[in-house]
Amino acid sequence: MLYPVNLDLSGRLIVVVGGGTVAERKVRGLLAAEPFVSVRVIAPQLTESLHALAADERIDWRNECYVRGSLSGAFLVYAATDSPALNAEVAAEAKECGMLVNVIDDPDASSFQIPSSVRRGDFLLTASTGGGSPALARAIRMELEQLYPPSFGVWLERAAILRAKLQEELPTSSARTEFWRTALRPDILNMIRCGELEKAEVELRHAALDIGAKSSHGSG
């Protein structure tokens, strides 16, 4: 049984052993999630895309083969080579050093799994099968992509800003709770899904003012 957790990787060193297409996917996922993460790639060869990231100094490329000690200072490790034996060596060192490690195509040897995910700004949805069926996780992710288009990320930012602006009108915790319940009304969610963010914001603003008025009346 896996425990779900969101990690803050800012300022952390992540080591990826391997320079192929799988390693590239891992690196791109890391950079997309946390632009200030430090990613070190250990491999004698890289994909063209990883070469470009190294040239732009987005990653630290160590043009060498993995040897014991290569993981020094890492918080999290990916063993992403095409050699199961080498991946096992990487995993063994990582575990001995108390580092989190993910071994491609070997969930039993991994201390964490990366779920399929849909990211809309700070809005993050994930689906995991614990390595049992990556295909099912991908299928669920594709459904989530359709249900929650990019407009939801924009809406989350707008709703948070609006809530801050209306802080005086929402003086109690119950009023703020009611505000977020309103923001999740089916009709408002449908507006967001259709990209009608201005219309949704007007509806939420009016509702927030009503909530604030009721709260003030009740406290008075």
CA atoms within 13 A on the CB side of 186: 0
Check residue 103 and give its pLDDT: 96
Longest alpha-carbon distance in the chain: 72
Same domain, 84 and 124: no
Check residue 39 and give its pLDDT: 97
Whole-number Cα distances in Å, 54 to 41, 50, 112:
9, 6, 26
Angle between helices 186-193 and 151-165 in degrees, nearest 10: 130
Whole-number Cα distances in Å, 97 to 29, 42, 44, 101:
24, 18, 24, 10
Check residue 31 and give its pLDDT: 93
The alpha carbon of 203 is separated from its chain's Cα centroid by a whole number of angstroms, namely 30
Check residue 195 and give its pLDDT: 93
Please report whether residue 110 resides in a domain.
yes
Check residue 41 and give its pLDDT: 98
Same domain, 190 and 213: yes
Same domain, 137 and 177: no
Query: DSSP 3-state assignment of 39?
Result: strand
**How would you write the pLDDT of the chain (220 residues) with one tens digit per residue?**
788 888 899 989 999 999 999 999 999 999 988 878 999 999 999 999 999 999 999 999 999 999 999 999 999 999 999 999 999 999 999 999 999 999 998 989 999 988 888 999 888 999 988 778 888 999 999 999 999 999 999 988 888 887 787 777 777 888 888 888 888 889 999 999 999 999 998 888 888 778 777 766 655 5
Same domain, 34 and 108: yes
Same domain, 24 and 103: yes
Please report whether residue 29 resides in a domain.
yes
Please report whether residue 62 resides in a domain.
yes
Give dist(CA 117, CA 113) in Å, integer. Answer: 12
Structural domain boundaries, residue 161: 151-219
Domain-ending residue, one of 93, 114, 135: 114
Query: DSSP 3-state assignment of 139?
Result: helix
